[in-house]
Amino acid sequence: MSQLRPARGTHDLLGEELLRHRHVAATGREIARRYGYGEIATPIFEFTEVFQRTLGETSDIVTKEMYTFEDRGGDRLTLRPENTASVVRAVISGGLAQELPQKFFYYGPMFRYERPQKGRLRQFHQIGVELIGSSEPMADVEVIALGAHILEALGVLPQTVLELNTLGDRESRQAYREVLVRYLEDHKDRLSRDSLARLERNPMRILDSKDEGDRAVVAEAPLLHDYLNQASRDFFARVQEGLAQLGVAFQLSPRLVRGLDYYTHTAFEFTTTALGAQGAVMAGGRYDGLMREMGGPDVPGVGWAAGVERLAMLLPEAPAQPRPVAIVPIGPEAEAEAWRLADKLRRAGIAVDLAFKGKPGQRMKRADRIGARFAVSIGSDELARGVVKLRDLDSGAEEELSQEALPARLAG
């Protein structure tokens, strides 16, 4: 009966876990709004080329993790493994590059075929922001500060560390690439098969390898920082100054990289050890060459993505939800009035629970079970006088008031 279970690496969201997810997304959306970021929702699948061209044909995501299929029309489609490429595609196809900068927030599911583990699933969710059209260092600062602000609003910032590095401009990266290739050539016998395949096409990606043998080689590799030109050093200095001015704490991590060629200058991660081994909960960087790589104009960009599952696990507690009001009709003659009263209260913005059947005692037990804040009882006597009885289920205190006064009393 495997077809009646969720597929491996997926699971149903409900109850407290769903509340945590919604809280992460809602908090991200609200804080991003304050920074001027409008929301964008891209399709969950794109033409496969969108990701092959942007993520690189030798990347783990493309070679091992993408969910790719051919539809009935013969098109090759891929469930999105990340959303930056989709947002940039939307800017190109929508002609939005004519009015810059463009600032976007997004939330939604992503898909990667990888080994499920704590906080990592095959269908997972991300929030993220993209700032497209500004090459200024303060754009990087704003994006990072926005991320820190969201983590602070969620109450998880103290559990994270902001790691910061620079990848330099194209000139600096090319100078470093030559030095890195010479170093890696001397250690080819220790590199994994995947890294050997990347050595000629994208050696920078080897720096981000998760293979233990590769990591041992990379640990002794030359540092990109030593090959930065003055323009790159100045850009990175301005980013650090901007973060310091805004009180965003960070630590320099000279081996933090992004392996794709279109990434330049700032790279960063908010990491935590609160979920076990150290891992990123939010990561991003500047990707000035991405839009050109996708066939659009040469427009710069910077952004980040954060894993909702991991952030939800870090929340100190589930967000509190408004407790409902239970309506308890006493006798069949009160049923119709109870439904009218429930409709009136719901339209006033009050959450109401009204059981479909049951004796008054059974309905009161249900009110306790669902954590109702108040119980409103109405019987023949109350009907005749146009009143209801209101019981505070925390204190047990009771009062009688008119139906007209009830919405204001419950709202207060």
Asked if residue 112 is part of any domain, the answer here is yes
The two tokens of residue 134 are: 């500004």
pLDDT in tens, 299-356: 999 999 999 999 999 998 888 888 999 999 999 889 999 999 999 999 999 999 999 9
Residue 348 maps to a domain: yes
Radius of gyration of the chain (CA): 28
- Cα dihedral 147→151→153→155 (10° resolution): -170
264 lies in the same domain as 133: yes
Q: Are residues 24 and 127 located together in one domain of the fold?
A: yes
Q: How far is CA 333 from CA 80, 340, 377, 379, in A?
A: 56, 13, 13, 8
Using DSSP's 3-state secondary structure scheme, residue 315 falls into coil
- Token code pair at residue 381: 């006597």
- Work out the pLDDT band at 164, boundaries 50, 70, 90: very high
Beta pairing partners, 163: 251, 269
- For residue 43, whether the previous peptide bond is cis, meaning omega lies within 30 degrees of 0, is no
- On whether the CB atoms of residues 55 and 260 are closer than 8 A, the answer is yes
**In which band, very low, low, confident or very high, does the pLDDT at 412 lie, cut at 50, 70 and 90?**
confident
| Same-domain pairing of 247 and 360 | no
* Number of domains forming the structure of the chain: 2
Let me know whether 235 and 370 are in one domain. no
* Among 277, 295, 314, residue at a domain's last position: 314
- pLDDT at residue 60 tops 80: no
CA torsion sign for 61, 107, 250, 273 is: negative
> Which range among 53-62, 239-248, 253-262, 272-281 has the greatest average pLDDT?
239-248
**Residue 40 domain flag:** yes
CA-based max dimension of the chain? 94
Range of the domain at 163: 2-169+229-314
Q: Which residues, listed in sequence order, are joined to residue 102 by a DSSP beta bridge?
A: 132
* Nearest Cα residue to 290 out of 278, 302, 307, 280: 302
Separation CA 347–CA 405 (nearest Å): 15
- Per the document, the length of the chain is 412
Find the range with the poorest average confidence among 33-37, 106-110, 231-235, 272-276.
Answer: 272-276
CB 124 within 8 A of CB 77: no
Instruction: Give dist(CA 173, CA 238) in Å, integer.
Output: 19
CB atoms under 10 Å from CB of 12, counted, come to 8
Residue 209 neighbours by CB distance under 10 Å: 19
Q: What is the Cα 285 distance to its own chain's centre?
A: 16
Q: Are residues 288 and 346 in the same domain?
A: no
Domain edge (last residue) among 287, 314, 341 = 314
Do 304 and 285 sit in the same domain of this protein?
A: yes
Query: Is 337 domain-assigned?
Result: yes
pLDDT computed for residue 210 by the predictor: 81
Distance of alpha carbon 220 from alpha carbon 290, whole angstroms: 30
Q: Which amino acid is at 165?
A: N
Classify burial at 305, counting beta carbons within 10 Å of its beta carbon; exposed 0-12, middle 13-18, buried 19 or more.
buried
Q: What is the CATH number of the domain that holds 27?
A: 3.30.930.10
User: Does residue 348 sit in the same domain as residue 403?
Assistant: yes
Q: Is the pLDDT of residue 405 over 90?
A: yes
